């Protein structure tokens, strides 16, 4: 019986295949959260490769979001797995950055594509000098390391503007939409 993580990966790839038929959605990247347990399975890369081949999707449109807890495991295994995923064309993002186990020593070694600023730093961003300093540091560090950066938990225009003014151009949060089923998401896309 497949793990829930494999079921989610299958569903994501099926959705990417469906979106491929529509010019409005064919270039959307879909992010999938991956648990440390799933990522560390000995056949994880083989499972991912088989899934993208089975659905005949463009792997560049699939992004795997990894939590910082993955880093506490065998770093060499993590790097090898991430490189194998990148060879397939898959992007990797480090989710909830700044809240867990990150080591700058590890960060410079990981073949990441993106850092995701945790919402705990975005929530009071407009009024809290400490959050401003942390967010600016994450954005600058990500840019220096060649990583894309995305902020989660963006709920106000002021937060978005501050992030934009400081070099973060990708966001997620209630300012744009609450989480919705796929059919509602597609309706929202057609309105814009």
* Contact of 57 with 93, CB cutoff 8 Å: no
> pLDDT band at residue 20, thresholds of 50, 70 and 90?
very high
Half-sphere exposure of 104 (CA within 13 A, CB side): 6
> How distant is the alpha carbon of residue 41 from its chain centre?
20
Q: CB atoms < 10 A from the CB of 130, how many?
A: 10
Confidence (pTM) = 0.91
Give the residue from 79, 71, 88 showing the smallest Cα distance to 36: 71
Domains and CATH numbers, the chain: 1-96+107-112 (3.20.20.450), 119-192 (no CATH)
The pLDDT tens digits for 131-153 are: 999 999 999 999 999 999 999 99
Among 166, 107, 59, CA closest to 151? 166
- What are the pLDDT digits (tens) for 24-80? 999 999 999 998 889 989 999 999 999 999 999 999 999 999 987 777 667 888 999
Report the C-alpha gap between 159 and 30 in whole angstroms: 24
pLDDT in tens, 157-183: 999 999 999 999 999 999 999 999 988
DSSP 153-166: ---SHHHHHHHHHT
């Amino acid at each position: 019986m497949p793990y829930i993580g494999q079921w989610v990966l299958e569903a994501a790839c099926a959705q990417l295949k469906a979106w491929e038929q529509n010019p409005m959605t064919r270039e959307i990247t879909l992010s999938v959260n991956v648990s440390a347990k799933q990522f560390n399975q000995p056949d994880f890369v083989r499972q991912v490769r088989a899934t993208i081949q089975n659905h005949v999707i463009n792997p560049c449109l699939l992004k795997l979001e990894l939590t910082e807890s993955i880093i506490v495991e065998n770093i060499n295994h993590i790097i090898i797995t991430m490189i194998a995923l990148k060879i397939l064309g898959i992007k990797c993002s480090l989710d909830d950055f700044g809240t867990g186990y990150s080591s700058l020593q590890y960060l410079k070694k990981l073949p990441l594509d993106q850092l995701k600023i945790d919402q705990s730093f975005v929530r009071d961003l407009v009024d809290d000098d400490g959050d401003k300093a942390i967010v600016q540091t994450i954005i600058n560090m990500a840019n220096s390391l060649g990583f894309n950066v995305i902020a989660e938990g963006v709920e106000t225009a002021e937060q978005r503007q501050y992030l934009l003014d400081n070099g973060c151009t990708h966001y997620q949060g209630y300012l744009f939409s609450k989480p919705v089923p796929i059919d509602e998401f597609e309706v929202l896309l057609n309105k814009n």
